[in-house]
Amino acid sequence: MEKRVVFSKLGLPILLVAPQIVITLVFFIWPASQALYQSLLLEDAFGLKSQFVWLDNFIALFSDPHYLNSFARTVVFSAATAGLSLGVALFLAAMADRVLKGATAYRTLIVWPYAVAPAVAGVLWFFMFNPSIGILAYLLKGLGYDWNHYLDGTDAMMLVILAASWKQVSYNFLFFLAGLQAIPRSLVEAAAIDGARPFKRFWTIVFPLLSPTAFFLLVVNIVYAFFDTFGIVHATTSGGPAQSTTILVYKVFNDGFIGLDLGGSAAQSVVLMAVVITLTVFQFRYIERKVAY
Amino acid sequence: MKPKFLPIAVGATMAVGYAGSALAATEIQWWHAMGGKLGEKVVEIAEGFNASQSDYKVTPVYKGNYTETMTAAIAAFRAKQQPHIVQVFEVGTASMMAAKGAIYPVYQMMADAGEAFDPKDYLASVTGYYTDTDGNMLSMPFNSSTPVLYYNKTAFEKAGIAGPPTTWPEVEAAAKKAQAAGYPCGFTTGWQSWVQIENFSAWHNLSIGTKANGFAGSDTEFVFNSPDHVKHIGQLAEWQKSKVFDYGGRRSESAPKFYGQECVMYMNSSAAYAGVKANAKEFEFGVSALPHWADVGSAPQNTIIGGATLWVLQGHDAEDYKAAAKFFSYLSSAEVQADWHQFTGYLPITTAAYELTASQGFYEKNPGTDVAIQQMTGKAPTENSKGLRFGNFVQIRDIINEELEAIWGGSKSAQEGLDDAVSRGNALLRKFEAATGG
Amino acid sequence: MVENRPWLTVFSHVVLCLGVLVTALPIWIAFVASTHPADSMLSGRTPLLPGGNMLENYATVLGSGVKAAGSIPVGTMLWNSFVMALMIAVGKIAISIIAAYAIVYFRFPLRKTCFWVIFITLMLPVEVRILPTFGVVASLDMLNSYWGLSVPLIASATATFLFRQFFLTVPEELAEAARIDGAGPLKFFRDILLPLSRTNIAALFVILFIFGWNQYLWPLLVTTDEGFYTIVMGIQRMLQAEDAEPAWHEIMATSMLAMLPPVLVVVFMQRLFVKGLIEQEK
């Protein structure tokens, strides 16, 4: 996918890309390559002594069951967060698309959590579900469910999924609603005349037309759950109890930033970078194809 | 062109060789982790010092919680932007000690600056934790505390419990009586690894690790999966089921359980005294020594400290270190220390401060505030109760937290959980040994 | 709609109202908490209705600052967040749009390389490369400055990528016509491409402003001068004060203030934001 018509100057384009390239090289490629180098070192926290240990950090990482578990947890967490926030958003968008009257008002009232910082969202949900003082934990106790995310890994996982989904529903809702509103009414009405009931109409006609949006959102949501949820986990569970909510990006932070295990943390960063690059290429190819189409 | 505030620009460039002028006061940075009321007090201390003379100025900077402060200081050191003084919590001690080129031992700095300094003025049970094998003090104790038992006096009376329990079976009996009287839970604990493993061991004169808990060498190994430890943790896990014990978080998140009269007993740092006093509104509370098992080890021995000390970092001018030395002298003076001790509930670090506080009648007016001191100084510390010195202990505490949570949650038995904690902890000890040794 | 199903419509409204309620619940609770004195929260459970300490609490956080966070007035932190968010949004849009323009409309040596250097960075979060990045910023003497807060976060490629996508959809005839008219590349950019990108720029501005406003870990590390602390970082600090109870009433009051500006930006720029967002992603 290239433009046919191009300008044929030499100095100007280089001048135009230069700021971005310089910033990327200085603040991105260079630190990332340092992380790469550090992942091959065994170093004390202050950087006073270091030895080159080849791939020891990676070997240690992949022979550590907790790291492998963290992978599994990240997959569960991402799938659940993406599933929940996409499902709820689609449902709400389908309803908003129906009501015509007030759709914009609903949109305004649903869209704003997008603006809330993950770290703040985490604080809010932590506050509501705090086993000692939280109002929702108290209500659940009244209903006979002893909520304690300090103790119960499932409770903790549910808490981070809820908080992460709450923030993401708004974004998904916007896209679904726009996608729905772009579907020609005549198509749906024709099916209605044929006697197809609303639910069936939705699945056989509307949803297939919506699938590019849904697929795009799926990728965005998974990326969100993988990387942008650090602040939520940090504020709600700190990865506990017993590592049950330690997702990959949190583990990088925890081992490097709190544990000061720089080599191990850098090795994890490298693994994460590989994951990111794979996802990026995947998304890039997908979007590229869509645009070409 | 950079929108900077001037004083900090000066502070930052000082690190890369600020010559200092005869006119301006020498300014040094003190990074600390004291939020809330404690943070206000820290500012007050620095202001007090700045007002007491005109040659030096200490600027306190709040850098978040303990781990954030320590990491920030280390990152700053790697980037040659380190502060002069940084507050590091006790579990970071081994990491700091091993960083020989990065730290400026306090005893040495005091000597180089020609500042009067006698380690004997300080409480041995506090400084022991931060002293090298030759008896030299490496860092300046600042805020030290030890775990104690807080109990709800009002609830105890209602449930007909005679007095604070001194042994674990008495804790259980008291908890059951309280539960019969309508209180949902017996006791909860803050900082579980520190209280229920580290201090449990010291209190019963049991080893946490070989080589005198790491004091005698970094080739130490953990042994806190002994039958005595397993018995204690297994009992707590058993109690978790019937809510005799209820777990409420790794740090001090469980405090509202005690404030809200859900749990009638609460084990946490003596420094929580101010918080308990402020929040225990609807009931009377008392402070007592940690309970012990009569049949385990030689309890009660003595408990060990937690909290933090001030470390001095290398890489600044001699004049700056003079300022730091002067500041440490001011900080250790009996008046400053006694005030800090009485205000916060942290232990006094010098004998003089303790005596001053006693002579002011503070302990009589505030019963229970001396429990911590007695608990720490009741017996001469043994190899097992002097403290602990393990590398990577920040991470290891996290591991202990995780395994304990698995035990409380019932997914592992006490034996399995402690075995796993020991083997995972040992792996990190070996890593630390490899990274810092030779 | 040719059919009329009143029950379904009622059902839709009920579902939407529920959605709105669940969305608003955390904020309501936060607001309620911010209007009570400190001990209402620590003695067991949070209240459900507003209390009488609202003015007092907000006055405290705005005026003298929250003690647990080092007593920096919230006003200062809000201002810092605002400057940082603005610099990130404007900076990123500015460098991205020209870079995307160069990549789409020019052929020059190393074009492909530039392209991949930028795009490889598409989604790598700050958390992953934070310590080495700190080293770079420190060696450039950019700690404790608005530059240090914002420039390293400008280094991601999202915006470049989105502008590139948009430019590719711009009809080729436009550029061709411009060339035939003898307009140079800069004139074409200024007179045609920029006006066409208006909604995209607006949408990106909203997204990037929020992205910048919501940063936590990076400001935490690069600021040691309390005059540069940001609001999101301030909240986390209040939560984790050592050996002290969290002052929930002040934390929640600060959270409300921290949420206000980005939420206002989203709500008021909603139309442009939605339009730009949907157009460029589809």
The share of chain C scoring above pLDDT 70, in percent, equals 86
Using an 8 Å CB-CB cutoff, list chain A residues near C179: 5, 7
Structure confidence at residue B286 (pLDDT): 94
Whether residue B8 and residue C227 make contact (CB cut-off 8 A), yes or no, is: yes
Closest CA of chain B from C247, distance in Å? 8
Give a yes or no: residue C15 inside a domain. Answer: no
Structure confidence at residue C180 (pLDDT): 81
For B268, nearest residue in chain C (alpha carbons): C243
Using an 8 Å CB-CB cutoff, list chain A residues near C132: 30-32, 34-35, 38
Whether residue A241 and residue B409 make contact (CB cut-off 8 A), yes or no, is: yes
| C124, pLDDT greater than 70 | no
Using an 8 Å CB-CB cutoff, list chain B residues near C226: 61-62
The pLDDT tens digits for C157-184 are 778 878 887 888 888 888 888 878 877 8
Structure confidence at residue A204 (pLDDT): 82
Chains that touch A (3 or more CB pairs under 8 A): B, C
Whether residue C71 and residue B75 make contact (CB cut-off 8 A), yes or no, is: no
For C39, nearest residue in chain A (alpha carbons): A133
* Helices C6-33 and A103-111, packing angle to 10 deg: 30
The share of chain A scoring above pLDDT 70, in percent, equals 94
Task: Please compute the mean of the pLDDT values over residues C203-225 and round it to a whole number.
Answer: 84
Give a yes or no: residue C41 inside a domain. Answer: yes
The pLDDT tens digits for A9-43 are 778 888 888 998 998 888 888 888 888 888 898 88
Window 34-73 of B: residues touching C by CB (8 A cutoff) are 34-40, 43, 61-66, 68, 72
The share of chain B scoring above pLDDT 90, in percent, equals 57
Domain parsing of chain A, residue ranges? 11-52, 56-292
Structure tokens at A97: 């698309």
Higher-confidence position of C259 and C275:
C259
Using an 8 Å CB-CB cutoff, list chain B residues near A257: 67, 71
| A171, pLDDT greater than 60 | yes
Round the average pLDDT of chain B to a whole number and report it: 88
Structure confidence at residue B287 (pLDDT): 94
The pLDDT tens digits for C37-53 are 877 776 656 677 887 77
Task: Please compute the mean of the pLDDT values over residues B237-256 and round it to a whole number.
Answer: 90
The pLDDT tens digits for A193-222 are 877 777 788 888 888 888 878 887 887 888
Using an 8 Å CB-CB cutoff, list chain A residues near C114: 17, 21
Chains that touch B (3 or more CB pairs under 8 A): A, C
Structure confidence at residue B316 (pLDDT): 94
List the beta bridge partners of residue B152. Answer: B285
Closest CA of chain B from C206, distance in Å? 25
pLDDT category, B170, cuts 50, 70, 90? Answer: very high
Does the beta carbon of A56 lie under 8 angstroms from any beta carbon of chain B? Answer: no
Q: What is the DSSP letter of B232?
A: H
pLDDT category, B344, cuts 50, 70, 90? Answer: confident
Task: Please compute the mean of the pLDDT values over residues A110-131 and round it to a whole number.
Answer: 87
- Please tell me which of A103-112, B221-230, B381-390 the model is most confident about, judged by mean pLDDT: B221-230
Amino acid, single-letter form, for residue C21:
L
Does the beta carbon of B99 lie under 8 angstroms from any beta carbon of chain A? Answer: yes
Does the beta carbon of B401 lie under 8 angstroms from any beta carbon of chain A? Answer: yes
Neighbouring residues of B382: CB distance < 8 A, sequence distance ≥ 6: B205, B301
**What is the tally of structural domains in chain C?**
1
Using an 8 Å CB-CB cutoff, list chain A residues near C182: none
Higher-confidence position of A162 and A100:
A162
Nearest to A237 by CA among A130, A292, A165, A156: A156
pLDDT category, C118, cuts 50, 70, 90? Answer: confident
Closest CA of chain B from C147, distance in Å? 7
Neighbouring residues of A165: CB distance < 8 A, sequence distance ≥ 6: A81, A84, A85, A88
Which H or E run contains A192? helix A185-193
Using an 8 Å CB-CB cutoff, list chain A residues near C26: 121, 124-125, 128, 166
| B19, pLDDT greater than 50 | no
Burial of residue C86 (CB within 10 Å: 0-12, 13-18, 19+) is middle
Domain around C173: 34-281
For C218, nearest residue in chain B (alpha carbons): B72
Task: Please compute the mean of the pLDDT values over residues A158-165 and round it to a whole number.
Answer: 93
Does the beta carbon of A153 lie under 8 angstroms from any beta carbon of chain B? Answer: yes
pLDDT category, A284, cuts 50, 70, 90? Answer: low
For A213, nearest residue in chain C (alpha carbons): C282
The pLDDT tens digits for B72-109 are 898 888 878 899 999 999 888 888 988 888 999 999 99
Whether residue B81 and residue C70 make contact (CB cut-off 8 A), yes or no, is: no
Q: CB under 8 Å, gap of 24 or more: what pairs does B43-52 form?
A: B43/C71, B45/B331, B45/B336, B45/B340, B48/B330, B48/B336, B49/B326, B49/B327, B49/B330, B49/B331, B52/B330
Task: Please compute the mean of the pLDDT values over residues B41-53 and round it to a whole number.
Answer: 93
**What CATH number is attached to the domain comprising C194?**
1.10.3720.10
Does the beta carbon of C47 lie under 8 angstroms from any beta carbon of chain B? Answer: no
Does the beta carbon of B405 lie under 8 angstroms from any beta carbon of chain A? Answer: yes
Domains of chain B: 6-145+306-359 (3.40.190.10), 147-303+392-436 (3.40.190.10)
For C83, nearest residue in chain B (alpha carbons): B3
Structure confidence at residue C71 (pLDDT): 57
Closest CA of chain B from C99, distance in Å? 25
Structure confidence at residue B47 (pLDDT): 93
Closest CA of chain A from C9, distance in Å? 6
| A287, pLDDT greater than 70 | no
Window 147-206 of B: residues touching C by CB (8 A cutoff) are none
Structure confidence at residue C83 (pLDDT): 94
Give a yes or no: residue C58 inside a domain. Answer: yes
The position carrying tokens 């197809």 is A196
Distance, in Å, from the CA atom of A221 to the CA atom of C107, rounded to the nearest integer, reads: 35
pLDDT category, C232, cuts 50, 70, 90? Answer: confident
Does the beta carbon of A215 lie under 8 angstroms from any beta carbon of chain B? Answer: no
Helix (H, G, I), strand (E, B) or coil at B311: strand
> Alpha-carbon Rg of chain B, whole angstroms?
22
Closest CA of chain C from A56, distance in Å? 20
Whether residue C263 and residue A111 make contact (CB cut-off 8 A), yes or no, is: no
Round the average pLDDT of chain C to a whole number and report it: 81
CB–CB contacts below 8 A, A to C? 292
Task: Please compute the mean of the pLDDT values over residues B111-117 and round it to a whole number.
Answer: 92
Cα–Cα–Cα angle for A11, A17, A18, rounded to 5 degrees: 80
Window 338-357 of B: residues touching C by CB (8 A cutoff) are 344
pLDDT category, A84, cuts 50, 70, 90? Answer: very high
Q: Does ipTM exceed 0.85?
A: no
Whether residue B256 and residue A133 make contact (CB cut-off 8 A), yes or no, is: yes
pLDDT category, A152, cuts 50, 70, 90? Answer: confident
DSSP string, A114-146: GGS-HHHHHHHHHHHH-TTT-HHHHHHHHTT--
Nearest to B100 by CA among B395, B328, B394, B436: B436
Q: Give Dmax over CA atoms of chain C in angstroms.
A: 77
| B148, pLDDT greater than 90 | yes
Structure confidence at residue B22 (pLDDT): 42
Task: Please compute the mean of the pLDDT values over residues B321-333 and round it to a whole number.
Answer: 95
Task: Please compute the mean of the pLDDT values over residues C228-249 and round it to a whole number.
Answer: 76
Distance, in Å, from the CA atom of B314 to the CA atom of B99, rounded to the nearest integer, reads: 10
CATH architecture of A56-292: Orthogonal Bundle (1.10)
Amino acid, single-letter form, for residue A118:
P
Which of C25, C155, C277 minimises the CB distance to A24?
C155
Structure confidence at residue C242 (pLDDT): 63
Task: Please compute the mean of the pLDDT values over residues C255-266 and round it to a whole number.
Answer: 88
Structure confidence at residue B254 (pLDDT): 86
Nearest to B351 by CA among B177, B127, B15, B36: B127
Window 57-116 of C: residues touching B by CB (8 A cutoff) are 67-71
Helix (H, G, I), strand (E, B) or coil at A31: helix
Which of C141, C225, C243 minimises the CB distance to B8?
C225
Task: Please compute the mean of the pLDDT values over residues A128-157 and round it to a whole number.
Answer: 85
Structure confidence at residue B108 (pLDDT): 94
Round the average pLDDT of chain A to a whole number and report it: 84
Chains that touch C (3 or more CB pairs under 8 A): A, B
The position carrying tokens 């300490």 is C53
Structure confidence at residue B177 (pLDDT): 95
Do B195 and B289 meet the contact criterion of CB atoms below 8 Å apart?
no
Distance, in Å, from the CA atom of A83 to the CA atom of B206, rounded to the nearest integer, reads: 50
For A263, nearest residue in chain C (alpha carbons): C131
pLDDT category, B8, cuts 50, 70, 90? Answer: very low
Distances (CA, A) of B271 to B130, B275, B287, B291: 19, 8, 12, 18
Whether residue C44 and residue B256 make contact (CB cut-off 8 A), yes or no, is: yes
How much is the pTM?
A: 0.83
Give a yes or no: residue C9 inside a domain. Answer: no
Which of B31, B37, B72 minimises the CB distance to C244?
B37
Distances (CA, A) of A247 to A157, A160, A225: 10, 11, 9
List the beta bridge partners of residue B209. Answer: B222
Structure confidence at residue B1 (pLDDT): 36
Whether residue A124 and residue C30 make contact (CB cut-off 8 A), yes or no, is: yes
| B273, pLDDT greater than 60 | yes
Does the beta carbon of A69 lie under 8 angstroms from any beta carbon of chain B? Answer: no
- Please tell me which of A55-64, A253-262, C36-45 the model is most confident about, judged by mean pLDDT: A55-64
CB–CB contacts below 8 A, B to C? 133
Nearest to B424 by CA among B214, B224, B198: B224
Which of B8, B72, B256 minimises the CB distance to C221?
B72
Which of A131, A151, A261 minimises the CB distance to B395?
A261
- Please tell me which of B221-230, B372-381, B402-411 the model is most confident about, judged by mean pLDDT: B221-230
Task: Please compute the mean of the pLDDT values over residues B104-125 and round it to a whole number.
Answer: 91
Which of B248, B253, B394 minimises the CB distance to A258?
B394
The pLDDT tens digits for B367-404 are 888 899 889 888 888 889 888 999 888 889 989 998 99
Task: Please compute the mean of the pLDDT values over residues C202-206 and round it to a whole number.
Answer: 86
Which of C43, C236, C244 minimises the CB distance to B260?
C43
Which of A3, A12, A92 minimises the CB distance to C16?
A92
Window 173-192 of B: residues touching A by CB (8 A cutoff) are none
